[in-house]
Structure 1
């Protein structure tokens, strides 16, 4: 009796194994076909975009084999209170492989030049810490929106991860969260300008930033911290010259939220400060970042203990 049951179970397992293998093969073939189609469609869209012209000053500064690291005094609103912390912006140019959608290891026709911005925010809420990081890849060959954005938040309750990948007229969105209401999700949103790309775009030429009414996808950090629906929102952008720099601001009409960035007047248009203000359960919430120090250095090769002093100079 026991042997018969074992034999039945083994046959059943084999049957399911064959089905699974067949599904995997079919899925792989479909994925290959879809990928080729998507890649062709994206190439057609790319060819229709206007070329981006970079100044010689831009090239001299950003293609010197170094990254720009800027530290900021952070004042972060969270849970109805202001939290002191530190933020860091790391700007660097690099090749981006459009097939694998990651930093390219080798030269390829599938690569696009991008400026990458990694932003970190670290602060404490009572006994436990928050660590937030986002990565934004903005093309430097065409006047285009960010081709990839990812953001993660870690704190003692758990962690979340969100990613947007540009495909023709949409962004493919992936979301992983420790919240039951969010869990794991995959969906598409309309391909429009993103808030995460604003500080990167400002570094190219603040005076060419779009103004007036526009659609904008809020920053991934805001979407996850406030659990707001991921979609384009109606907004109004403005640009003005002030005494000691340029000020670019955006007001979201339906979110009761304003963001602003202040830059230098001259290249390389360093981000001097930024601000975010929104309604938090009926109370005004304001977060700000104010520049402390900037270093231009190839940080990826500075792993030794002797480089610890560079953190001190950034006041980190």
Structure 2
């Protein structure tokens, strides 16, 4: 097993060096690869306080980070990466889930972000889905230029219906992966950014980029905080993460100020973390791992 992981790391390193695209700099990818190319995912569970319909709801969030071989053309996970040639690109994938209840009915939400690891590129693809008793919706954005995206929104609401999306700018949902790749990759200062796909689903506003300001500051001896503030003042995102590699995410907070001046704050605090190949842990006897992650039934 150890030999196969070494071979996997060497293949990834070679593919990085052969790429002609602009590369991320000042990152120790040997250290990086020992953690992220071990054939496992990092899973973190969080206590969630999600604001919805003017009230705070108790819930649970999960962050799953894992590396994948991705298709440049199709922007999907490759079935046979060894046969893909130059079409293969290594990405860091984040899956974020949120589960909470509003009154009698539950919300199930999932967001995915796919960001090139070595190549200095914006996220290649972002998707989000929301399921609740009223219906469901799905959004997908694909990078089709240096900083331009095209996509689709499918919603059960008549006003939204099925629509095409086209926009330019940085994606808020990319920031989570940039923290994990290297905090040095976070764009500091003034940027043109469009908000999270989750926020778009909650607000039902047209997805568009606006001026925003990003800063990263120390909040303790061992933690930093990314703070993203939109110029409209309607949204502020704060993500707390560890200073030292692998820069684990410990908490986050989202503040939304509505048109009537009401402020709603969503918070998440980490409960547990494990690194494992969860896709092979699908037997009944593996359910004890949920207890170790402090996941609710």
Superposed CA deviations along residues 140-169 of structure 1, whole A, max 9, x for unmatched, are 121111100000000000010000000014
Distance in 1 (alpha carbons) for counterparts of 2:251 and 2:33: 24
Q: Which of 258, 271, 279 is residue 300 of structure 1 equivalent to?
A: 279
Where do residues 166-315 of structure 1 align in structure 2 (5 Å cutoff)?
166-169=143-146, 170-190=148-168, 192-243=169-220, 244-282=222-260, 283-315=262-294
For 1:1-316, what aligned pairs fall within 5 Å after superposition? 49-51=22-24, 53-107=27-81, 108=84, 109-169=86-146, 170-190=148-168, 192-243=169-220, 244-282=222-260, 283-316=262-295
TM-score of the aligned structures, taking structure 2 as reference length = 0.88
**Unmatched segments (≥5 aa) in structure 1:** 1-45
Distance (Å, rounded) in 2 between the aligned partners of 1:92 and 1:181: 36
| Distance of 2:188 and 2:74 partners within structure 1 | 33
SS at match of 1:103: coil
Alpha-carbon distance in 2 for matches of 1:229, 1:251: 18
Contact 2:227 2:238 in 1 (8 A): yes
Q: 1:120 to 1:179 in 2, by over 3 A?
A: same
TM-score (norm 1): 0.83
- What is the alpha-carbon root mean square deviation over aligned residues? 1.4
The offset of 1:188, in angstroms, is 1.1
**Residue 54 of structure 1: CA displacement?**
4.5
**What is the rounded CA distance, in whole Å, between the counterparts of 1:76 and 1:147 in structure 2?**
28
CA drift at 1:229:
1.4
SS of residue in 2 equivalent to 1:198: helix
Q: Which has the higher helix share?
A: 1
- Partner deviation per Cα, 1:281-300 (whole Å, 9 max, x = no partner): 52110001101000100000
Shift of 1:102: 0.6
Structure showing greater Rg = 1
SS for the counterpart of 2:95 is strand
Shift of 1:48: 5.6
Q: How many residues are treated as equivalent by the alignment?
A: 270
Local SS of the residue matching 1:142: coil
| Structure 2 CA distance for aligned equivalents of residues 174 and 126 of structure 1 | 30
CA contact 2:61–2:99 (8 Å) conserved in 1: yes
Alignment deviations for residues 111-161 of structure 1 (CA, whole Å, 9 cap, x no partner): 110000000000000000001101100001211111000000000000100
Describe the SS at the equivalent of 1:189. strand
Give yes or no for contact 1:249–1:261 (8 Å, CA) kept in 2: yes
